[in-house]
Amino acid sequence: MSELDKKKGGAPAPKDWTYAPAPESRDVVHIAERYGHFVGGEWLEPSETYETISPATEETLASVGLGTDEDVDRAVAAARGAFANGWSALPGSERAKYLYRIARILQERSREFAVLESLNGGKPIKESRDVDLPLAAAHFFYYAGWADKLEYAFPNRRPRPVGVAGQIIPWNFPLLMLAWKIAPALACGNTVVLKPSHTTPLTALLFCDVVRQADLPPGVVNIVTGYGSTGAALVRHEDVDKIAFTGSTGVGKWIQRETAGSGKRLTLELGGKAANIVFDDCALDQAIEGIVNGIYFNQGEVCCAGSRLFVQESIYEPLIAKLKQRLTTLRVGDPLDKNTDVGAINSRDQLAKIEELVQSGIDEGAEIYQAPCRLPEQGFWFAPTVFTNVAQSYRIAQEEIFGPVLSVLTFRTPEEAVEKANNTPYGLSAGVWTEKGSRILWMVQRLRAGVVWANTFNRFDPTSPFGGYKESGFGREGGRHGLEGYLRFDE
């Protein structure tokens, strides 16, 4: 044995594999002390403001305008003016140039946006950086490609823009939902008034600077911030031609009632209680990663989260053992740390809802497992949680928790799996894990879900339509289907 080999053999193996902190810099983004509303290409001074905070530290980040009925009225008037004064008549090839510019600027400023998204929303920086920002830019690129091809997308139907679109987005994917809404609307020749969630307005307000950089004509994109009353004013406004809403099922039902008979076009992407179905012939380790990604991605604050896990009885015990072991490796903490897997819950109200539903699971008799982890003292946090011995009737198996909480149930046959998976008022998404392609196709035909993933979960692409059935809403966003909601047709 050489002297070098002897030295190699004598090196002690590391005993501590703890990750050192790897924080992303906050200095890459500038946050103003006070924000107004972006209307007609200018900032309007708000009559009232509220404070938006970081859910990880509870520190105040900025004062943000609290939109009134008058603010909404101004924004809609600006959008109507831009629609009538040239934007709707602009050739598709010219609209595409603006969308391409926006996409490129988002790419160039992706680090800035990712930091702000994590700071204001609580999600891990690696998710903002590697998922939200690339997908947001990709949607603008994709719909830029469609802008001058609408006649080919809908042959023999003479597509025309709808007019002014009122868009209301949630707090779990603020910038990505903005891209899902604004990109197809502009590609079709519409103008928009967008209302972001009151807890996560900052990336939408930073997007106004992207609009300025891209030289988008004034009034084409208008952003008004505020609470639910601001969104309600937008829904009720008589000069809005289209409402696109992503959020809770309860609010979606109210919007549908409010717009009934008004002639407004409507698309709703609402809640979910997705079934993630694992058969005994799956690649088990791959399935474990898919389960973890399905429910703990973005702290489980995902409408299509795989919050109900159905496991074939023959592999139940080894799967649960592997899943619990995998949970011990998840790192909960600072959203700006590049090592963090699970960040902060978005708000105090959402944390209280999660805690209440988890307690109901315990009270009803389910067995709880939470991976040992030290939660920060400041901010809103909840440990990744797994419930076993769950019955279909338990609230944790029926209601959308919107947090890092997984309910595990079992099945014996594919027929039983389908029956249990469809036993929910929701129908947004589902997942199937098996090596048999024929079984995947059999399951897909029978699952009442708008999206079914096979041997993966939470995969998104701008070319693929996304939407639900039943109480998960109607209409589709993404793909060619996402254009149709922003068009009327002269048959």
Catalytic residues: 269, 303
DSSP annotation string for 61-72: EEEEE---HHHH
Contact yes or no for 307/400 (Cβ under 8 A)? yes
Contact yes or no for 216/38 (Cβ under 8 A)? no
Determine the longest span between alpha carbons in the chain, in angstroms.
87
Which helix (H) or strand (E) segment holds residue 151: the answer is helix 150-153
- Token pair 């990880």: residue: 56
Whole-angstrom distance, CA of residue 241 vs CA of residue 326: 49
SS in 3 state form for 402-462? CCCEEEEEEECCHHHHHHHHCCCCEECEEEEECCCHHHHHHHHHHCCCCEEEECCCCCCCC
Beta strand 487-489 pairing with 159-161: antiparallel
Whole-angstrom distance, CA of residue 487 vs CA of residue 150: 9
Of 247, 283, 296, the C-alpha closest to 267 is 247
Amino acid code (one letter) for 277: I
Per-residue CA distances from 471 to 350, 395, 417, 477 (Å): 21, 17, 20, 16
Q: How many C-beta atoms surround the C-beta of residue 364 within 10 A? A: 16
Of 204, 203, 218, the C-alpha closest to 98 is 218
Whole-angstrom distance, CA of residue 356 vs CA of residue 457: 27
Of 310, 286, 314, the C-alpha closest to 430 is 310
Of 342, 339, 336, 334, the C-alpha closest to 292 is 342
DSSP annotation string for 212-260: HHTTPPTTSEEE---SHHHHHHHHH-TT--EEEEES-HHHHHHHHHHHT
DSSP annotation string for 423-435: -SSEESEEEEE-S
- Tokens describing residue 435: 């090596």
Beta strand 426-427 pairing with 367-370: unpaired
Of 49, 266, 301, the C-alpha closest to 170 is 301
- Tokens describing residue 114: 């990712």
Beta strand 265-269 pairing with 473-474: antiparallel
Whole-angstrom distance, CA of residue 364 vs CA of residue 165: 45
Whole-angstrom distance, CA of residue 417 vs CA of residue 278: 9
